[in-house]
Amino acid sequence: NAGVMQNPRHLVRRRGQEARLRCSPMKGHSHVYWYRQLPEEGLKFMVYLQKENIIDESGMPKERFSAEFPKEGPSILRIQQVVRGDSAAYFCASSPGPGTTFIHGYTFGSGTRLTVV
């Protein structure tokens, strides 16, 4: 049973390019959470998605950032026109749903480290 799969592990983009980060949740998990972690800082919540629905995007910057979790395929976090300040580790976590989350917590992927040059 594969865990949460994130790819790529490392991504280098030039300023102004687009970054696409992918997250495949664990089998049987339909809830996905994206977090950003800047160097030497804590986890910052970005967005919570269910299949085809955004449940909470209160942590997403208003511009350039978007997320989706289609019916088929992985969840995608998209950053348009990247800037140096977007350089960070982006972690995805998944769970079967709130009920199970509150018993067992989240399972995280290994993260994508985005570097903007």
Partner 1 sequence: RKEVEQDPGPFNVPEGATVAFNCTYSNSASQSFFWYRQDCRKEPKLLMSVYSSGNEDGRFTAQLNRASQYISLLIRDSKLSDSATYLCVVNGNYQLIWGAGTKLIIKP
What residues make contact with partner 1 under the rule CB under 8 A? 33, 35, 41-43, 45, 48, 55-56, 89, 91, 98, 101-111, 113
Q: How far is the CB of 81 from partner 1 (least distance, A)?
A: 26
Q: What SS3 class is residue 40? A: coil
Q: How far is the CB of 56 from partner 1 (least distance, A)?
A: 7
Nearest to 112 by CA among 16, 41, 19: 19
Q: Parallel, antiparallel, or unpaired: how do β-strands 53-56 and 19-24 relate?
A: unpaired
What's the token pair of residue 50? 């269910």
Q: How far is the CB of 71 from partner 1 (least distance, A)?
A: 21
Question: Cα dihedral angle (112, 67, 75, 91), rounded to 10 degrees?
Answer: 30
Q: How far is the CB of 43 from partner 1 (least distance, A)?
A: 5
Q: What SS3 class is residue 64? A: coil
